[in-house]
Amino acid sequence: MSDVRYPFTAIVGMADLRLGLLLNAVSPAVGGVLVRGEKGTAKSTMVRALAGLLPSIATVDGCRFACDPATPDPQCPDGPHASATSSEHPSQLVELPVGVAEDRIVGSLDLERALAEGVKAYEPGLLAKAHRGVLYIDEVNLLQDHVVDLLLDAAAMGRSYVEREGVSVRHAARFLLVGTMNPEEGELRPQLLDRFGLTVEIAATRDPAERAEVVRRRLAYDADPAGFAARFAEDERTLAERITAARELLPKVELTEVALRQITAVCAAFEVDGLRADIVMARTAVALAAWDGRTEVQEEDVRQAARLALPHRRRRNPFDAPGLDEEQLERTLEEHAQQDDPEPDPEPEGDGGGDGGDQGPDGDGDGPGDGGGPNGGGAPEPSDGGAPEATTADTDATGDQPQQPVPAQHPAPARESAPVAAGDPYRTRLFTVRGTGHGAQGRRSPAETTGGHTIRSRRPQGALGRLHLTATLQAAAPHQVARGRGGRALVLQKDDFREQVRQGRESNLVLFVVDASGSMAARQRMTAVKGAVLSLLMDAYQRRDKIGMITFRGAGAELALPPTSSVEVGAARLESLPTGGRTPLAEGLLRAHEVLRVERLRDPNRRPLLVVVTDGRATGGRDALARSQRAAALFAAQGTASVVLDCESGPVRLGLAHTLAGLLGGTSVSLDELRAEGVASLVRENRPAAGRGDVRATTIRKAA
């Protein structure tokens, strides 16, 4: 691969991403940029190209922490730098791999020198290398949680604190944080999301002419990288000079009172948490003015700053589309565009606006607006509250009658009803799989992971992983006299080494098997069912699971959503789910069994959690009930953890879902229990045979 970077000015389109990166180059205090977009949109190419435009920096000679000779870090491990010489170096672009180890990020004890020479020396990590440069993380949403925690600490304090293996080090770690991600692979933790100053959504252009130009330029670069870069050298030089000029102008830009009032009013209107958004918007607006060569912030700067700094900070549900309500933005800017307004005008209280961005408590009294209504889920509709459903709803449009004791004798005609909206979601506390796994980092089930806390040591199983220094020294100490070290450094042999065993939590594959047949098609009941599934999807989102969805109705089962980390797609598929027809429960379970078999081959360490949403009926084909029971026994034999969400309602209940849960070796949770009086406290634990998986459901509440 060529060492010649693709020119920044050669990239076609993507004006928002270009602007976001350039504003951070002008003012690193903006706080970095998160680039969200589909795969193959040149996200990484543009970020790497930015590094070639950044001005060079002066560093103290011999300092491994890139100290500025004008203001050296007094706590620099390589200091003090009172009268050190300096030299110019290009700004560093440090790329953080997704699978990076913790000690590679913060640094650690130099084991080679410690063991060979008996010297306690510190080996700097990537945070030290990125100081005063760019820290670039491709696929930032795939980072393990313990790595995210380290980045949060450094981004918050501008310093890295290292306390490990007898090393205690403090050093500066101020960097421009740039991350790219594909939302289809899962969302980012809110704590890290808030650390990015700006966010940009990008997608590949649909204009054939632009797409052709992208391909043309990429082929030209691949054929002759140096020649292609030379074609854009003058444009790159001009852009670099403009960045330098904007940096020099930046301290002279005035943030007027009107602009500041508009910034704070916009942040209040969109109900962002905390005050970081206000500060980032102010810095971004100032950088925009400097970039345009102006010394005063204007309304257009505030508008553009809001579009870049607020979409990932506004209060929204996990499945809401990112972005801002442009009408609300324009309305807020207009209301606070006056010059001086020393006395508050007693305007009519209608629009929740108020004067000067008041901190009034009417945020949840605005009606069904885009930003104010759902504080914790919003009030339920009167017809969909905690009261039980009317029993007449149990005779659905398909003609299935739940009062009949033998459901297989009353097959529903294959008629499809229009999709219904999901009801109010519930707050799910915990569904966890028994035992200790070894899957990918997450927040659901106990597991031995590369993160987490150290629980013990062990002899290496194959190549040495994370060295457990204390246990290694303890193992070697009793043998030093016999090894004749004679007062010299510690003598170690291969059998002395011990590695750390860490315990954290893993993510699981949560496979939803949803009954979409006629027996579930009563509109009020299906609304409640979709609300319950949506709440389980939210739980999977928060716990970083992979999810899949199978629906069964009519003559068979369909894989509506192959296993993925994007719960947004799952929510969209759920919303458009059609209903009607017979209930081929056996086909749904068998399809789920096949999906789990394939996924087990792809990722054997990721443990599955089966969630079956049904009333337990089986009316599809001959011997439907017996076939569904045999299919359920397959999961029980493999010890697959399972939960059955029992959606049966009405005065006469057959208890088929509860029976199905027993055959699966799992637990059943009644939809009525979840909805009773708005808050349901459930503590359920199935008791499987030895060696089988177990699911524990604790305290599921309806969002108030």
Residue identified by tokens 């081929």 is: 584
Closest of 638, 588, 639 to residue 613, by C-alpha: 588
Q: What is residue 13's three-state secondary structure?
A: coil
Residue of 145, 98, 149 whose CA lies nearest to 543: 145
In sequence order, what are the residues at sequence separation of 6 or more whose Cβ sits closer than 8 angstroms to the Cβ of residue 675?
A: 386, 528, 702
Nearest to 685 by CA among 676, 671, 698, 673: 698
Distance of CA 680 to the CA centre of its chain: 28
Determine the Cα–Cα distance for residues 474 and 459; give it in Å rounded to an integer. 13
Q: To which residue do tokens 């390589």 refer?
A: 78
User: Could you give the CA distance from residue 137 to residue 4 in angstroms, rounded to a whole number?
Assistant: 20
What is the Cβ-side half-sphere exposure of residue 451, based on CA atoms within 13 angstroms? 21
Integer Cα distance of 108 and 111 in angstroms = 8
User: What are the tokens at 647?
Assistant: 């959606």
What token pair was written down for 680?
């349901």
Long-range contacts, 74-79 (Cβ 8 Å, 24+) = 75/159, 75/170, 75/171, 75/172, 76/171, 76/172, 77/122, 77/124, 77/169, 77/170, 77/171
Q: Which amino acid is at 115?
A: L
The set of residues, in sequence order, having a beta carbon less than 8 Å from that of 225 and lying 6+ positions away, is: 2, 4
Q: H-helix or E-strand containing 95?
A: strand 93-95
The one catalytic residue among 276, 427, 429, 573 = 276
Residues 210, 222: Cα–Cα separation, whole Å: 19
Q: Number of helices (H) and strands (E), helices first, in the chain?
A: 22, 22
- Residue 682: how many CB atoms within 10 A of its CB? 15
Q: Kind and range of the H or E element at 214?
A: helix 208-223
Long-range contacts of 295-298 (CB under 8 A, 24+ apart): 295/249, 295/252, 295/253, 295/254, 296/253, 296/254, 296/256, 297/253, 297/254, 297/255, 297/256, 297/259, 298/259
Instruction: State how far the Cα of 263 lies from the Cα of 336, in Å rounded to an integer.
Output: 9
The number of C-alpha atoms within 13 Å of 363 and in the hemisphere containing its C-beta is 18
- Say whether 314 is catalytic: no
Return the DSSP state at 398.
Answer: T
Instruction: Tokens for 196, please give them.
Output: 């990015």
Residues annotated as catalytic are: 276
